[in-house]
Chain A
Amino acid sequence: MAAFILETEAVEYVYPDGTQALRKIDMAVAKGQKVAILGSNGAGKSTLFLHLNGILRPAGGKIRYDGREVVYNAAGLRELRTRVGIVFQDPDSQLFSASVLQEISFGPLNLGLEKREVKERVLKAMSETEIEDLADKPTHMLSFGQKKRVAIADILAMMPEVIIFDEPTAWLDPRHAREFMQLLDHLAAAGRTIIISTHDVDIAYAWADNILIMNHGQIVASGVPTEVFRHPDSIIAADLALPWLVEMHGELMRRDWLRPDAPLPRSKEALFASLGGHDKGKITAGTTGTVLRVLP
């Protein structure tokens, strides 16, 4: 087995109108990793994703799946699309059927499976995304968050090894965004490789094993979250912000409120734990502004 499940080598793409969408993209995703691709609007994230599933063919460079170069014929693309699934940003452009059951069964039926197995997969995908109760509801009566879950079940039923999510938390409120990220963790825990695109740096920072930062069709920085954000210049240049945890950590360091060897925290709990002083008990609801009280 290859070290990386999905690799691109100097991938280039130019849209028919002459826009250079991708410039020499080199990326490598290890099996089972959680990868976040960060970039502002128009950085080329979606274009890159369409290459990883074989919808677009690179104008230059190579894409390898499991060590083997992607073959652009019917059988090769079928193989790639069976292993790499994409959940699109807007469920209304992905869901083609007015029936949730029919919608989810489309992908596995295209894999040439028997009806009985398709049915099993549909039920399993629905239970993993917790939408069993929507089976008899028509698509147009679902809420946005429910449609989004159906869109994921669409792909899960095909049982791909890699699942790509284009802007998974766009248009979701904080609670649904949090639940969504938990669902992604759950999917990753089952051994799948997950790639997401986002411009929410806080989500990417807290969630990902590996972060790629894209700007103007190039990858300008990559690495583990705690390393990537140590070089704010490339982040700012890519029209992104620093995660609040990183900024807070820097500021606390600058004021000597943290020990110099305190590690960069990945969650707010980790940040609070690294603070000195003593705990005066629970902060009650409505007084979140007094959080600074625990500082020395």
Chain B
Amino acid sequence: MFDLDTYAYTNRWIKIHPLEKFVFALATMLVCLISPSVVVVGAVLLLMTVASTKGAGTPVGQFFRFMMIPFSFILTGVLTIAFSVSHDPGGFLFGFTFGSITVGASQANLMKAGFIFFKSLGAVSCLYFLSLTTPVLEVISVLRKLKAPSLFLELMGLVYRFIFVLMDTTALIRMSQTSRLGYVSAKNTFRSLSQLISSLFVRSFHRAGELATALTARNYTGEIRTLEKEYPVSKRNYAVILGIELGLLLLNFT
């Protein structure tokens, strides 16, 4: 997760307007989800892989490692589609019979499961493209332009910032516990972990209090307003995106 964050800040497409990347990722995802053709899904997967690796500069191996993370989730998800329960053992390609009940997979269901599997993977690749090219704060600024509620966006920003503070604190507490043999046995581990969690909870409260004080000292009155980075808007990029999406849609008719 933290690698993802690092790539987002160091990728080659960091200077491109975040809204353009956002539109590209979401439009492609939409096309991927509504297309009935497996060719389109394959094309989306290929397109996003190339855009993230050749384009934005994420190492290919790293990109595939990221793609493996949701792999097992999607697989378990589509298994329920592939297999069905029936009293009639006929029609299944293979199956297991328990008494009068047969659990098995028919060819149609297998095809359907495989298609959904690739479709999900295609959609995930679109989201990865966005995560790998656009830092969280830029995504938030896009959402602000799209008029998402500001309370929600402020919370997103603060949560994002304090994930890292919390991780640093966790690492420090854990280190000090380890240096006092906190994790040498299962029993110690359970005890140390429970103390780690409770002290993180207490410290988060302290942090929140300190943050509120520091914000008040800078005339905070209930709304966090900040300047946002400005990016050049490229009509050419929008034209390219439109072209790609139309091309993908046309692939459905081949």
Q: Is A92 among interface residues, defined by CB-CB distance under 8 A?
A: yes
The reply to whether the CB of B26 lies closer than 8 angstroms to some CB of chain A is no
Query: Max chain B CB contacts within 10 Å: which of A103, A106, A119?
Result: A106
Taken residue by residue from 197 to 212, chain B's Cβ proximity to chain A (1 for < 8 Å, 0 otherwise) reads as 0000000000100110
User: Which chain A residue shows the least CB distance to B165?
Assistant: A92
Nearest residue (CB) in A for B14 is A136
Bits for A28-66, please: 1 = Cβ < 8 Å to B, else 0.
000000000000000000000010010100000000000
For chain B, the bracket of interface size reads 20 to 34
CB nearest to B220 among chain A residues = A110
How many residues of A sit at the interface, in one of the four size bands? 35 or more
Which residues of the partner chain B approach A109 to less than 8 Å between Cβ atoms? Answer: 225-227
Judge if B135 is at the interface, Cβ distance under 8 Å.
Answer: yes
Flag A112-136 by CB within 8 Å of B: 1 or 0 each. 0001001100100000000000001
B87 an interface residue at 8 Å Cβ cutoff? no
Q: How far is it, in angstroms, between the C-alpha of A88 and the C-alpha of B213 when the chains are bound?
A: 10
The answer to the question of B3 belonging to the interface, with a C-beta cut-off of 8 Å to chain A, is no
Query: B217 on the interface (CB 8 Å rule)?
Result: yes
Are A94 and B226 also in contact (CB < 8 A) when A82-B219, A139-B161, A140-B164 are? no
Given contacts A81-B219, A102-B137, A106-B218, contact A119 B227 (CB under 8 A): yes
Taking a contact as CB atoms under 8 Å apart, the answer to whether B9 and A101 are in contact is no
Contact partner, B136, options A50, A98, A106, Cβ 8 Å = A98
In contact, B161 and A118 (Cβ under 8 angstroms): no
Alpha-carbon distance A170/B161, docked complex (angstroms): 23
From known contacts A55-B216, A98-B161, A103-B226, infer whether A93 and B210 are also in contact, taking CB-CB under 8 Å. yes
Of B207, B210, B227, which one neighbours A105 at CB under 8 angstroms? B227
* Contact of A99 with B137 in the complex, beta carbons under 8 Å: yes
A97→B157 contact, CB < 8 A = yes
Chain A CB within 8 A of B160 CB = yes
Are A102 and B210 in touch, CB under 8 angstroms?
no
| Contact A50 B213, CB 8 Å, known A96-B161, A97-B157, A140-B164 | yes
Question: With A55-B213, A90-B210, A93-B210 known to touch, is A118 a contact of B227 (CB < 8 Å)?
Answer: yes
Return chain B residues, CB-CB under 8 Å to A90: 210
With contacts A81-B218, A105-B226 known, is A137 near B158, CB below 8 A? no
| Residue from A107, A119, A138 within 8 A of B218 (CB atoms) | A107
Q: Which of B1-23 contact A (CB under 8 A)?
A: 5-6, 9, 14
By a CB distance below 8 angstroms, the chain A residues around B213 are: 50, 55, 88
Q: Are B161 and A137 touching (Cβ within 8 A)?
A: no
In the bound assembly, the distance between CA atoms of A82 and B218 in angstroms comes to: 8
A105–B5 Cα distance when bound, in Å, is: 23
Which A residue sits closest to B8, measured CB to CB?
A138
B76 to chain A, nearest CB (A): 33
Whether the Cβ atoms of B217 and A53 lie closer than 8 Å is: yes
* Residues of chain A contacted by B229 (CB below 8 angstroms): 99, 101
A111 touches B (CB below 8 Å):
yes
**Does A97 contact B9, Cβ atoms closer than 8 Å?**
no
Which residues of chain B are within 8 angstroms of A106 by Cβ–Cβ distance?
A: 215, 218, 220, 224-226
The answer, among A103, A107, A141, for a CB contact under 8 Å with B9, is A141
Q: List the B residue with the shortest CB-CB distance to A122.
A: B227
A79-92 to B contact mask, C-beta < 8 Å, 1/0:
00110011010101
For B220, list chain A residues within 8 Å (CB).
106, 110
A139 / chain B contacts, CB cutoff of 8 Å: 161, 164
Chain B: minimal CB distance from A149 (Å): 16
Q: Kindly report which residue of chain B lies nearest to residue A95, judged by CB atoms.
A: B161
Contact of B100 with A by CB under 8 A: no
From A92, A101, A141, B227 is in contact (CB under 8 Å) with: A101
Cross-chain contact A96 with B224 (CB below 8 angstroms)? yes
Does any Cβ of B come within 8 Å of A153's Cβ? no
Residues of B126-144 at the interface with A, using a CB-CB cut-off of 8 Å, are 135-137
A12 contacts the other chain (CB 8 A): no
Q: Given A102-B226, A119-B227, A111–B219 Cβ distance below 8 Å?
A: yes
Shortest B136–chain A CB gap in Å is 7
A positions within 8 Å CB-CB of B: 50, 53, 55, 74, 78, 81-82, 85-86, 88, 90, 92-99, 101-103, 105-107, 109-111, 115, 118-119, 122, 136-141, 154-155, 158
A/B interface sample: 5 pairs, CB < 8 A: A81-B219, A98-B135, A103-B226, A141-B9, A155-B218
